[in-house]
């Protein structure tokens, strides 16, 4: 009889624990972010982005500057740079814009059915990274490592797994946070071509299912101001001009510096937020400071 009573008690506790965990899970994401570090980034905490990996997107609502991430999706980065250099994007419309989600453009038909005359690209949903590269880890969430590589928020397999793999690397993938640029596609994973989208907000459902290949450094407010609609009713906002910064005359290039995610300041800031958020931490939780000069 005592054993039966103990078993029933244990079952009752387990049944009730779901409500407790549900309450905890509801509360955790609502925790306010911690205050910023007491001192601003120092002179050695900043870096100047490579102009050959800066995409300058002038729109009818203002300028957006994206830092591309060739380490994450080299063929997609090469494609958007090649098309920009052909002036392919100039004048195209934002034809599908979902408030709280993303702005889609890059289609010469302006309806989501078109692309360039170049072949479709293989999906680059994940990439291989080696321990000791530029990836900066915030820590482990469940069984996945998270952090930053350059200005791109990233999820990754655990670094300790690298020695178990033939290439001594692990899989990593972009986290679709606000400002991340992604390759639009249809139901075929290998159907990316010229179309792209800019994230207005975080959306983890896209992680590992779309190719993320850079992030907005300047102009997220512009991204969020683009006229919405599915499809967008005329008149639509447009891409007035898309250029690679290295192709622009030096006097016309945007002068930008960004906090180096490998810096001591950023690591301390990221760790502070990681400790505060725990299991609900995402790399989207951390802002990378940017200055335009």
Q: Looking at the domain assignment, is residue 17 inside a domain?
A: no
Instruction: Give Rg (Cα) of the chain.
Output: 22
User: Considering the entire predicted model, what is its pTM?
Assistant: 0.86
Integer Cα distance of 260 and 105 in angstroms:
30
Integer Cα distance of 243 and 258 in angstroms:
20
Q: Looking at the domain assignment, is residue 44 inside a domain?
A: no
Q: Under a CB-based contact definition with an 8 Å cutoff, are residues 262 and 148 in contact?
A: no
Integer Cα distance of 112 and 104 in angstroms:
8
pLDDT at 35: 53
pLDDT at 95: 98
Question: What's the pLDDT tens digit per position in 209-227?
Answer: 999 999 999 999 999 999 9
- Domain coverage including residue 116: 51-284
Q: Looking at the domain assignment, is residue 19 inside a domain?
A: no
Residue whose C-alpha is closest to residue 181's, from 136, 150, 212: 212
Integer Cα distance of 266 and 286 in angstroms:
9
Distance from the Cα of residue 282 to its chain's centroid: 11
Here the CATH number for the domain that contains residue 59 is 2.40.100.10
Q: Looking at the domain assignment, is residue 24 inside a domain?
A: no
Q: Looking at the domain assignment, is residue 7 inside a domain?
A: no
Q: Looking at the domain assignment, is residue 25 inside a domain?
A: no
Distance from the Cα of residue 229 to its chain's centroid: 23
Integer Cα distance of 291 and 268 in angstroms:
20
Q: Looking at the domain assignment, is residue 83 inside a domain?
A: yes
Q: Looking at the domain assignment, is residue 178 inside a domain?
A: yes
Integer Cα distance of 56 and 104 in angstroms:
16
Q: How many residues does the chain have?
A: 293
Pair type for strands 54-59 and 239-244: antiparallel
pLDDT at 10: 41
Spans in the chain with pLDDT lower than 50: 1-31, 34
Domains of the chain: total: 1
């Amino acid at each position: 009889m005592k054993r039966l009573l103990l078993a029933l008690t244990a079952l009752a506790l387990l049944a009730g624990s779901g409500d407790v965990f549900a309450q905890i899970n509801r509360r955790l994401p609502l925790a306010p972010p911690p205050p910023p570090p007491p001192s601003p980034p120092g002179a050695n905490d900043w870096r100047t982005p490579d102009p050959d990996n800066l995409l300058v997107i002038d729109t009818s609502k203002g300028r957006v500057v994206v830092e591309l991430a060739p380490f994450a999706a080299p063929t997609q980065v090469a494609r958007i740079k090649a098309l920009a250099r052909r002036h392919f994007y100039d004048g195209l419309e934002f034809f599908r814009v979902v408030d709280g989600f993303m702005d889609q453009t890059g289609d010469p038909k302006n309806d989501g059915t078109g692309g360039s005359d170049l072949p479709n690209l293989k999906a680059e949903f994940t990439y291989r990274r080696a321990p000791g590269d530029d990836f900066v880890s915030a820590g482990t969430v469940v069984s996945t490592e998270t952090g930053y590589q350059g200005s791109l928020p990233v999820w990754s397999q655990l670094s300790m797994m690298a020695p178990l793999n033939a290439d001594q690397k692990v899989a990593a993938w972009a986290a679709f946070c606000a400002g991340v640029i992604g390759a639009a596609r249809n139901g075929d994973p290998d159907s990316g071509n010229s179309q792209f989208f800019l994230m207005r907000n975080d959306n983890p459902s896209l992680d590992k299912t779309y190719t993320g290949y850079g992030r907005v450094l300047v102009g997220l407010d512009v991204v969020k101001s683009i006229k919405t609609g599915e499809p967008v009713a005329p008149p639509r906002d447009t891409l007035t001009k898309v250029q690679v910064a290295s192709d622009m005359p030096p006097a016309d290039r945007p002068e930008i510096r960004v906090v180096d995610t490998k810096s001591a300041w950023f690591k301390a800031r990221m760790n502070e937020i990681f400790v505060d958020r725990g299991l609900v931490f995402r790399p989207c939780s951390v802002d990378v400071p940017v200055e335009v000069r």
